[in-house]
Amino acid sequence: MAGNSPKVADEGKGRTDSLQSICYKRGSLHLLDQRKIPLETTYLDIRNSADGWFAIKDMAVRGAPAIAIAAALSLAIEAFNLESFQGTPDDAASFLSQKLEYLVSSRPTAVNLSDAAIKLKEVISKAASTSSEAKAVFQAYIEAAEMMLEEDVASNKAIGSYGASLLQSQEEGSKTLSILTHCNTGSLATTGYGTALGVIRALHAKGILERAFCTETRPFNQGSRLTAFELVHDDIPATLIADSAAAALMKAGRVNGVIVGADRVAANGDTANKIGTYNLALCAKHHGIPFYVAAPLTSIDLSLPSGQEIVIEERSPKELLNSRGGLGEQVAASGISVWNPAFDVTPAALITAIITEKGVITKAGNDAFDIKDFVQKVSGQPS
């Protein structure tokens, strides 16, 4: 790798779906550069974990599930292409573990990334304890990373199915539904189909989606650039709105529900998601509109009792000072101070339900989520 960013791959090579954010086969990984959508479709050639780190940090790849898979696979590529490794199985395990820690530092708020690293370290440790050669440890890691890729698509489709059924049942008096979403939670934020946008896809497939509304999602414009791109691509009836127009849209009675993704969900249900999510939840509460979170179980962090413990990443001031999320010309006054948190935390009290690939988490009689109990039940763990 030269410099501090991954190389651009040959566009279109070996790909048939322009919405495939992660193109992988053993020994080869290409990530769609989402900073250039919708004007360009360019793939980055990821050759090692350093390439993966920069692609994630610079938001060429984004979305909590996609970040985790991209990180895991970037190290799988590096492990596969190692020409020689002089060391024991324990040395191989140490090498991989250190690389995983490095990858986790790229975007600290997304729990999927740290969760993936923990699970992969368990695989590495087990392989090291039972193998006589370092090669076997690398092979075990590669196979585990590839399994994560396969499981993500199935997980997303299950979230879509559970979510569509929930929204349909809670709006029994409506033949069709109009749903508002924020940021990008579709094929571009995952390995395919999506979480919150996957629910919208499932509603559309059932013929009960009247319209999807998507926010711009400033300052990086994931809604106008990415979600709008996906909705148009799939011929889903959709309308783009300014972030500041959401309250007026709700007041006009044009929204039946709001659904968003999550980068991290605390044990009590407090949810960190793209900045602006909290605003939408407050508006939805005021207008009596249900507010849903759609996320895989890997986004749930039971080690955090509440959202107060979630580390919130702050992005570069340039994303506000310049157009196109920091990639274009200067639009703000020189010398102005900037506060640019990437995420906010929506209190559980504002969330109607949390939709996962294992079912829907609803509130108990005390109007609170018991997420730990749900996770234990669906995973077969003792209470």
Name the pLDDT band for 88 (thresholds 50, 70, 90): very high
Compute how many other C-beta atoms are within 10 angstroms of the C-beta atom of residue 129.
11
Q: Which residues of 328-345 are buried (b: 16+ CB within 10 A; e: fewer)?
A: eeeeeeeeeeeebebbbb
Nearest to 170 by CA among 257, 255, 250: 257
Provide the edge-to-edge strand list for the sheet that holds 359-361: 238-241, 209-215, 177-181, 257-260, 291-294, 353-356, 359-361
Read off the pLDDT band of 6 (50, 70, 90): low
Residue 3 confidence (pLDDT) above 90 = no
In terms of Cβ atoms closer than 10 Å to its own Cβ (0-12, 13-18, 19+), residue 91 is middle
Q: Which residues are catalytic?
A: 263
Residues in a beta bridge with 23? 30
Instruction: Note whether 308 and 273 are within 8 A (CB).
Output: no
Q: Which residue has the higher pLDDT, 49 or 64?
A: 49
Contact (Cβ atoms closer than 8 angstroms) between residue 243 and residue 276: yes
Higher pLDDT, 111 or 334: 334
Here the tokens at position 45 are 């050639």
Q: Is the pLDDT of residue 11 over 50?
A: no
| Region 1-24 average pLDDT | 55
pLDDT tens, residue by residue, 28-60: 999 999 999 888 889 999 999 999 999 999 989
* pLDDT over 90 at 110, yes or no: no
pLDDT reading at 13 higher than 60: no
pLDDT of residue 2: 36
Lowest mean pLDDT among 15-24, 198-207, 290-299, 326-335: 15-24
User: Which helix (H) or strand (E) element contains residue 239?
Assistant: strand 238-241
Amino acid 156: pLDDT: 93
pLDDT of residue 10: 42
pLDDT in tens, 328-339: 999 999 999 999
| Whether residue 198 has pLDDT greater than 90 | yes
CA distances from 281 to 7, 57, 251 (A): 40, 28, 14
Task: Give residue-wise pLDDT tens across range 294-327.
Answer: 999 999 999 999 999 999 999 999 999 999 888 8
Q: Of 333, 344, 339, whose CA–CA distance to 317 is shortest?
A: 339
In this predicted structure, what is the pLDDT of residue 63?
Answer: 84
DSSP 6: P
Averaged pLDDT, 69-93? 95
DSSP label of 238 = E
If pLDDT is split at 50, 70 and 90, which confidence band does 14 have? very low
Percent of the chain with pLDDT over 90: 80
- Average pLDDT of the segment spanning 14-28: 73
